[in-house]
């Protein structure tokens, strides 16, 4: 799902002591996201059902709900502190020897305490209302993502049918109730953080009868080998307790490394943070075709940095680059990078960015000094031959952006407030640069630039002047353009597609360059761009 979304793979955790069926996503940005599931979810849910739950949590990641959830927790705690201050003042006054003149202080402390607790009550009602609306959106997004309702509906049915339901035993579960897949506390009415369970189920399965909860309890209430059940259902062509599974279409074939694909600018912009079923199936195909050795390296903290360095190694200068790696990070890192580089030579270009996103959770586990050292070496590898390719630069920029988001998540703004008029110079320069990279001669590049510029600045005649120092330009332009508002980013992506393609055709290297630029702007694109 991370490959289909074009975002780094999140950290994965299991709440081993929780028998209830639940899950949640946490973090400020996709670069520091974590997805957590309970042991009960792993033991009671089939593959399709677990897929539906994880797709639900991924929608929270892509829709920015994690950031909203954590801010809600902070606001509510801040209001609670006001009430606690008033209460502590009142408690302190009980021990005062002389109560003369304390009347005004008592009234002020009482007012502060009442204000804090009333504010907390109102805040929890607001939190619950926001959470309910986001849960409906997440359910809808999960269905769009997996293109089936069987899995998500099945998971919700088991929550309602099994004795443990979604309840969490941890004492602090109320604080995170609005982040959970299903209500883990038991609130109802105004304080309910989730829509009624039956309503969620019947939006997915209109024929569902609540009396079926009894049958679900009989079938799944005891110990069931869910993996064996999955195998049995697969052989029978069925999917879990919900009956026949939808017929799975063959995934679209990957375009050849030297081929061109037809794209449409507006359709591509709609894919940002909005993967569909085809994207999931292509991602599944990419994942299975990546050699096991490279996938293993991406998941191993001891090998992930060597894999990322191998992605930057140029066959023409690999000897010099390997010496640089050995000097900075050690001979073992350089030898492993050289070995992995040989394996990378045979993989499809579309697998390189997914590999980088798979490796990022392992990179995050490096000590801070080593992480700083690694990013510095990654930058130096680009300059070994004096000719930095746009792909190399954008990959290094993407890693730098993801590391910055991880180390300082509160300042990682996925959507800013700037308008295109505030970033005019940077937008024009970027369009000129991608038009130049996407065409072999100046005349075609200039025509593409004018078509792209018309998307942003219609009716204005703009000179075609690609930046001479494109690396320095991108270093300054990308952070500025990252502060654009949502509408500005949407138009910019449509213009970029126009500028980098000729007659709507895009080569695989150009598509990967576009995806890297968009990822640096916090606009992740799926592996295959839309027609």
| HEC string for 41-83 | HHHHCCHHHHHHHHHHHHHHHHCCHHHHHHHHHHHHHHHHHHH
The reported pLDDT for the residue numbered 190 is 64
Question: Is the pLDDT reported for residue 353 higher than 80?
Answer: yes
Q: Beta partners for 261?
A: 506
**How far apart, in whole angstroms, are the C-alpha atoms of residue 21 and residue 39?**
8
- Please give the C-alpha separations between residue 211 and each of 161, 163, 312, 497, in angstroms, as whole numbers: 9, 15, 59, 52
pLDDT at position 252 is 59
Residue 243 has pLDDT above 50, yes or no: no
Residue 507 phi, psi dihedral angles, 5° rounding: -80, 165
What's the CA gap between 77 and 81, in Å, rounded? 6
Confidence check: pLDDT of 240 > 70: no
Catalytic (active-site) positions = 57
pLDDT over 70 at 459, yes or no: yes
Distance of alpha carbon 141 from the chain centroid: 14
Most confident of 290-299, 342-351, 376-385: 290-299
**CA distances (Å), 107 to each of 26, 103, 433, 436, in order?**
40, 6, 66, 71
pLDDT at residue 66 is higher than 90 = no
Q: Which of 47-51, 73-77, 491-495 shows the lowest per-residue confidence on average (mean pLDDT)?
A: 73-77
Q: Which of 293, 280, 136 is nearest to 199 (CA)?
A: 136
Whether residue 246 is predicted with pLDDT greater than 50 in this model: the reply is no
Q: State the pLDDT at residue 247.
A: 46
Q: Is the pLDDT of residue 186 over 70?
A: no
293-300: long-range contacts at Cβ-Cβ below 8 A with a sequence spacing of 24 or more?
Answer: 293/340, 293/343, 294/340, 294/343, 294/344, 294/347, 294/355, 295/355, 295/358, 297/336, 297/340, 297/359, 298/355, 298/358, 298/359, 298/362, 299/358, 299/359, 299/361, 299/362, 300/362
Nearest CA to 322 among 341, 303, 349, 299? 341
pLDDT band at 457; cut points 50, 70, 90: confident
Q: Are 300 and 333 in contact (CB under 8 A)?
A: no
Looking at residue 257, its pLDDT comes to 65
User: Where residue 155 falls among pLDDT bands split at 50, 70, 90?
Assistant: very high
Instruction: Report the pLDDT value the prediction gives residue 97, as an integer from 0 to 100.
Output: 61
DSSP one-letter string for 15-45: ETT--S--EEEE-SSGGG-EEEEEHHHHHH-
Q: How confident is the model at residue 100 (pLDDT cuts 50, 70, 90)?
A: low
What is the mean pLDDT of the segment spanning 199-228?
Answer: 88
Of the two residues 200 and 502, the one the predictor is more confident about is 200
Closest CA to 371 of 298, 318, 304: 304
- According to the model, what pLDDT value does residue 38 have? 94
> CA 135, CA 195: separation in Å to the nearest integer?
7
Do the beta carbons of residue 349 and residue 395 sit within 8 Å?
A: no
Look at 247-261, 269-283, 421-435, 511-525 and tell me which has the smallest mean pLDDT. 247-261
Produce one character per residue of 311-336: b if its CB has 16 or more CB atoms within 10 Å, e if not.
bbbbeeebeebbebbbebbeeebbeb
pLDDT band at 242 (very low <50, low <70, confident <90, very high): very low
Which residues, at least 6 apart from 300, have a Cβ–Cβ distance to it below 8 Å?
362
Task: Identify the pLDDT of residue 29.
Answer: 80
**Per-residue pLDDT, 270:** 81
CB 273 within 8 A of CB 279: no
Nearest to 55 by CA among 155, 173, 186: 155
- Helix, strand and coil content of the chain, in percent to the nearest 5, comes to 65, 5, 30
Q: Determine the pLDDT at residue 474.
A: 83
- Is residue 255 within 8 A of residue 510, CB to CB? The reply is no
Higher pLDDT: 277 or 46? It is: 46
Per-residue pLDDT, averaged over 488-502, amounts to: 85
User: By percentage, how much of the chain surpasses pLDDT 70?
Assistant: 87
Torsion sign, CA atoms 75, 80, 85, 86: positive
User: For the segment 332-341, what is each residue's pLDDT rounded down to a tens digit?
Assistant: 999 999 999 9
Average of per-residue pLDDT values in the chain: 82
Range 208-230 burial, b when 16+ CB lie within 10 A, else e: beeebbeebeeebeeeeebeebb
Is 60 exceeded by the pLDDT of residue 77? Answer: yes
Rounded mean pLDDT, 79-94: 76
pLDDT at 244: 36
Q: What is the DSSP letter of 97?
A: S
Tokens found for residue 311: 């992605």
Residue 20: name the closest of 136, 148, 177, 130 by CA.
177
| Spatial distance between the Cα atoms of 500 and 39, rounded to a whole number of angstroms | 47
pLDDT exceeds cutoff 70 at 482: yes
- What is the model's pLDDT at position 176? 74
The pLDDT assigned to 98 comes to 62
Beta bridge partners of 238: 244
- The predicted pLDDT at position 251 comes to 56
Assess contact for 167 and 21: CB atoms under 8 A.
Answer: no
- The answer on pLDDT for 250 being more than 60 is no
Which residues face 260 on adjacent strands? 507
Top mean pLDDT of 26-30, 260-264, 339-343 is at 339-343
Which tokens is 482 given?
């990252």
Q: How would residue 325 be classed by pLDDT, with cut points 50, 70 and 90?
A: very high
Q: In the predicted model, what is the mean pLDDT of residues 318-322?
A: 88
Out of 24-28, 81-85, 108-112, 158-162, the most confident range is: 158-162
């Amino acid at each position: 799902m991370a490959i289909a979304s074009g975002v780094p793979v999140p950290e994965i955790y299991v709440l081993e002591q929780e028998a209830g069926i639940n899950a949640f996503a946490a973090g400020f940005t996709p670069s520091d996201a974590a997805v957590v599931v309970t042991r009960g979810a792993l033991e009671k849910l089939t593959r399709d059902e677990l897929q539906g739950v994880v797709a639900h949590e991924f929608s929270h990641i892509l829709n920015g709900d994690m950031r909203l959830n954590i801010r809600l927790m902070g606001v509510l705690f801040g209001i609670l502190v006001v009430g606690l201050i008033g209460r502590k003042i009142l408690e302190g006054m009980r021990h005062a020897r002389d109560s003369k003149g304390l009347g005004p202080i008592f009234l002020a402390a009482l007012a502060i305490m009442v204000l804090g607790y009333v504010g907390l009550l109102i805040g929890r009602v607001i939190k619950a209302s926001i959470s309910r609306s986001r849960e409906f959106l997440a359910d809808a997004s999960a269905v769009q993502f997996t293109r089936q309702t069987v899995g998500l509906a099945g998971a919700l049915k088991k929550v309602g049918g099994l004795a443990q339901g979604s309840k969490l035993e941890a004492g602090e579960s109320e604080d995170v109730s609005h982040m959970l897949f299903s209500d883990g506390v038991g609130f109802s009415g105004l304080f309910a953080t989730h829509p009624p369970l039956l309503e969620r189920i019947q939006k997915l399965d209109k024929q569902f009868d609540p009396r079926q909860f009894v049958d679900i309890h009989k079938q799944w209430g005891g110990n069931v080998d869910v993996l064996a059940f999955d195998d049995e259902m697969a052989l029978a062509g069925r999917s879990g307790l919900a009956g026949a599974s939808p017929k799975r279409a063959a995934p679209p074939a990957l375009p050849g490394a030297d081929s061109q694909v037809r794209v449409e600018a507006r359709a591509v912009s709609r894919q940002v943070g909005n993967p569909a079923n085809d994207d999931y199936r292509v991602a599944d195909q990419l994942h299975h075709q990546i050699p096991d050795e490279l996938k293993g390296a991406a998941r191993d903290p001891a090998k992930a940095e060597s894999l990322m360095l191998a992605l930057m190694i140029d066959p023409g200068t690999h000897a010099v680059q390997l010496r640089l790696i050995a000097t900075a990070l050690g001979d073992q890192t350089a030898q492993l990078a050289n070995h992995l580089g040989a394996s990378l030579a045979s993989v499809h270009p579309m697998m390189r960015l997914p590999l980088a996103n798979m490796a990022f959770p392992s990179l995050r586990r490096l000590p801070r000094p080593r992480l700083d050292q690694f990013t510095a070496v990654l930058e130096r590898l680009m300059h070994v031959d004096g000719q930095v390719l746009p792909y190399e630069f954008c990959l290094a920029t993407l890693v730098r952006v993801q590391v910055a988001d991880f180390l300082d998540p509160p300042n990682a703004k996925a959507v800013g407030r700037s308008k295109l008029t505030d970033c005019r110079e940077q937008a024009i320069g970027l369009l000129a640069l991608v038009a130049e990279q996407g065409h072999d001669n100046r005349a075609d590049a200039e025509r593409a630039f004018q078509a792209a510029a018309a998307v942003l600045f219609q009716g204005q005649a703009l000179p075609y002047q690609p930046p001479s120092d494109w690396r320095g330009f991108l270093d300054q332009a990308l952070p500025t353009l990252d502060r654009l508002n949502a509408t500005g980013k949407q138009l910019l992506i449509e213009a970029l597609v126009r500028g980098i393609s000729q007659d709507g055709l895009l080569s695989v290297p150009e598509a990967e360059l576009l995806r890297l630029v968009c990822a640096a702007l916090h606009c992740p694109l799926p592996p295959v761009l839309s027609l």
